[in-house]
Amino acid sequence: MALRRAVLVCCALGCAGPAPGDEPRRGPGDPGTVTLRRLNRVEYDNTVRDLFGTTLSPGLAFPDDDEVDGFDTLGEALSLSPTYVARYADAARALVDDLYRADRASYRRTRILHCDLAQGGFGCAREILAPFAARAWRRSITEAEVETLMAPVHTAQELGGSLEEGLRASFEAVLLSPHFLFRVELDGTETPHRLTDHELASRLSYFIWSTMPDEALTAAAESGQLQNDDRLGAAIDRLLDDPRAERLNDTFATRWLEVDKLESHEVSGRLFFGRWSGKHAASMKTEVRRFFQDLLRADRPATELLTARSTYSDALLASHYGDSPRVGLLTMGAVLATTSFSTRTSPVKRGQYVLDRFLCSPLPPPPPDVEGFPDAPATPVTFREILEQHRNKPECAGCHRLMDPIGLGLEGYDAVGRHRTTERGLPIDTSGALPDETSFSGAIDLAEILARDSRVTACMTRKLATFAIGRRLVLADDDAWIDHIAAEAGKTGGGLKQIIRALVTSEAFRSRRAGTP
């Protein structure tokens, strides 16, 4: 019955009959309009490395990419100014020079320059440019497009220059073309509609590897295999098992957790002398990266991000942590420091962080003209007492009753993530109760309770989807889409890989809605 309905739907869309496994999954979710995404600096560097086999990283000289919701993969935020375009032109020239500097017999040169221009003339130039442009633009290209790329070769000849000079310029044109710099997805007449095979391959590859599709994925796209759920699933698994999937640690995980800029986090040198340094920041960030990578590789559920034990503290961190109890991300130095001020912890910031990053239930910012806390109150009081006064104010209570208990539960760790039992000489009480009246005692208990909240898995899925699809999830259908992915993943154990698989195979990921004409 399901299959028959699928056939009817499919025929109504005007396509040929489906092969087994091809049933369109009309799961919930509006693909929404994803604004044209240009490659960000990281994607640019990874892509030219795969394309040329170069060791250059021209993207390092590009301006930083703007972020929305913490990620630098959202089309709406990725803009271009003339300075950036000038940098693209410099990069294109440098990459082509680098190719021609490579050893004549090297694979990375002969792979691209595979015929002798002196003998083969224009024909050879075409044979070089056609496959190169197809790889660079991540799709099949037309004869007419190859002809446009030949223009510099003709110009060179007309002016009495060498064909090689012309071909070099043609390579630059490939790299300055919008087809290379943007991840182009086109709209047909119908909306929403499925992505083409090549468009889907690019979405998948840039999501997991942060680079262009490799030969195997391109071949799978070429032969239409990605329309088949099982084949698509196999492609996802292959990408996830590849070392390049570790890039998700930096492209996704550290950004989601806001620890990507930990090295420039402000910590008071006066108060934390000897207990904070660039090395501490680096060790803490490594701990987060490896922890995430390990859970992803082992396909563990998202909730274990809060409850699994970390085994990645190096010698520096081991002595920083001492033998204090630690479990999951909430007790990692990177998270504890990121959510603190330079001189002290902030239970409010930590509470807000957990609500925003793990439960996707951020609170509105405080109204203007709200007074901050005195940094050093005249008489010693604990934050708990200060915050309790605060919660007595009706205009503050609504939000602070949600944030404060969580933050106070983490008060057993200072602003650089070390364990402590007192604050300014007063003992710290880390017990509390969540708004639903579940009581807890201390950070480990709190993490266990938070992990039972179904929002944790949905939230991580939402962050992944935002990062992967490249738009803010603000549509009416987005919640249903995310819940659908989490439920689908749950059927096969709910591990991180299953979430990624369910996300990529969901209808909304594989489709596109046209923007305003």
Residues 188-207 that bind another protein (CB under 8 A): none
User: Measured at the alpha carbon of residue 309, what is the angle toward residues 306 and 312, in degrees to the nearest 5?
Assistant: 115
Smaller CB separation from another protein, 209 or 272: 272
Smaller CB separation from another protein, 152 or 333: 152
- Binding segment (CB under 8 A) for another protein, from list 45-53, 173-181, 224-232, 412-420: 173-181
Smaller CB separation from another protein, 323 or 371: 371
Q: How far is CA 256 from the centre of its chain?
A: 8
Under a CB-based contact definition with an 8 Å cutoff, are residues 227 and 491 in contact? no
CB of 191 vs another protein, minimal distance in Å: 10
CB of 98 vs another protein, minimal distance in Å: 17
Smaller CB separation from another protein, 55 or 516: 516
The per-type count for the chain, helices as H runs and strands as E runs, is 24, 8
Smaller CB separation from another protein, 92 or 387: 92
Alpha helices of 298-332 — where are they, by DSSP H? 304-307, 315-321
Q: Under rule CB under 8 A, which residues in 95-154 are in contact with another protein? A: 145, 148-149, 151-152
Please name the residues in contact with 5: beta carbons below 8 A apart, sequence gap of 6 or more: none
Count, residues near another protein per rule CB under 8 A:
71
Binding mask 28-67 for another protein (x = CB under 8 A): -----x-xx-x----------------------x-xx-xx
Q: Which two tokens stand for residue 248?
A: 């998700």
Residue of 89, 219, 298, 397 that binds another protein (CB under 8 A): 89
Residue linked to tokens 């405080």:
366
Please name the residues in contact with 371: beta carbons below 8 A apart, sequence gap of 6 or more: none
CB of 92 vs another protein, minimal distance in Å: 8
Residue of 140, 324, 342, 431 that binds another protein (CB under 8 A): 342
Q: How far is residue 257 from each of residues 171, 455, 469, 502, measured CA to CA in Å?
A: 39, 16, 18, 22
Q: Does 394 interact with another protein (rule: CB under 8 A)?
A: no
Q: Is 507 helix (H, G, I), strand (E, B) or coil?
A: coil
Binding mask 468-497 for another protein (x = CB under 8 A): ----x-------------------------
- Binding segment (CB under 8 A) for another protein, from list 168-176, 377-385, 450-458, 485-493: 168-176
User: Measured at the alpha carbon of residue 26, what is the angle toward residues 23 and 36, in degrees to the nearest 5?
Assistant: 105
For 13, half-sphere exposure in the C-beta direction (CA atoms, 13 angstrom radius) is 18
Residue of 55, 83, 189, 319 that binds another protein (CB under 8 A): 83
Residue of 143, 375, 436, 437 that binds another protein (CB under 8 A): 375
Distance separating alpha carbons of residues 201 and 51, to the nearest angstrom = 16
Residues paired with residue 440 on neighbouring β-strands, in sequence order: 432
